[in-house]
């Protein structure tokens, strides 16, 4: 199955390693993709979810070992999409955390290739969490900050500020729960990447899911 004449690339996170932490959306895309371009850290049981007949292309990297240049990976994604194929770019963890997903998103944006992002459970959060270490704590210094509200849902929005001002910005913009706080200079890439993202994969929630959403008082 293809996602249209020009194809599309899904930048998909496979989670930190345990196949049980693969998201439902990732499993759905694997089951229908024409091409799966995958990294070294992707578990074999995750790859087993790819549909029969799909092209499985390994582009893994290993420190001081064999490398596939990033430029070649980007060119491969663009080529496969331009052949009209639905492509899953499968990365360990989350595609935007240590996965060079931002570089690939920018390359796809510049090439005019449709793409979207399917977040995965990041080892940057899962690893410390499984070791009992919180990755955030009150009392840190001033940095660029962004709050992402209702991530992946049709009502998703982003509010930017600094670590010292983000609380006031959140109150002024009436940001609700759930929301994710992002810190650091990477916030500045949002203006370049967000404009090229495809629309959310579901324009409206199924009735049972909508009924389960928290209601504001």
CB 60 within 8 A of CB 40: yes
Structure-token pair, residue 135: 């990755």
Cβ(114)–Cβ(81) below 8 Å:
yes
* Spatial CB neighbours of 135, under 8 Å, sequence gap ≥ 6: 124, 125, 128, 129
> 3-state class of 105 per DSSP?
helix
Q: Using DSSP bridges, classify how beta strands 179-183 and 144-149 pair: parallel, antiparallel or unpaired.
A: antiparallel
Residue 91 among the catalytic residues: no
The structure tokens listed for 147 are 């709050």
Check 6, 18, 61, 116 and give the catalytic one: 61
Contact call for residues 144 and 159 (beta carbons, < 8 A): no
- Ramachandran quadrant class, 132 (left: phi over 0; alpha: psi -120 to 50; beta: rest): left
Catalytic residue among 34, 39, 94, 116: 39
45 is catalytic: no
Catalytic residue list:
39, 61
């Amino acid at each position: 199955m293809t996602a249209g004449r020009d194809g599309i690339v899904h930048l998909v996170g496979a989670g930190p390693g345990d196949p049980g932490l693969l998201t439902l959306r990732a499993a759905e895309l694997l089951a229908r993709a024409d091409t799966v371009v995958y990294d070294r850290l992707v578990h074999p049981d995750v790859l087993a979810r790819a549909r029969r007949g799909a092209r499985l292309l390994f582009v893994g990297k290993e420190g001081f070992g064999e490398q596939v240049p990033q430029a070649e990976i980007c060119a491969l994604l663009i080529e496969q999409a331009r052949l009209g194929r639905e492509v899953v770019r499968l990365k360990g963890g989350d595609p935007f955390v240590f996965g060079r997903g931002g570089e690939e998103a920018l390359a796809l944006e510049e090439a005019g290739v449709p793409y979207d992002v399917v977040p995965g459970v990041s080892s940057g959060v899962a690893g410390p969490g499984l070791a009992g270490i919180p990755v955030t704590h009150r009392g840190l210094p001033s940095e660029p900050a962004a709050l992402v509200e209702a991530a992946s849902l049709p009502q998703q929005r982003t509010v930017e500020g600094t670590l010292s001002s983000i609380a006031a910005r959140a109150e002024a913009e009436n940001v609700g729960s759930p929301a994710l706080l992002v810190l650091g200079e990477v916030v500045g890439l949002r203006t370049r990447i967000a404009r090229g993202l495809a629309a959310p994969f579901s324009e409206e929630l199924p009735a049972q899911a909508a009924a389960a959403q928290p209601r504001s008082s």
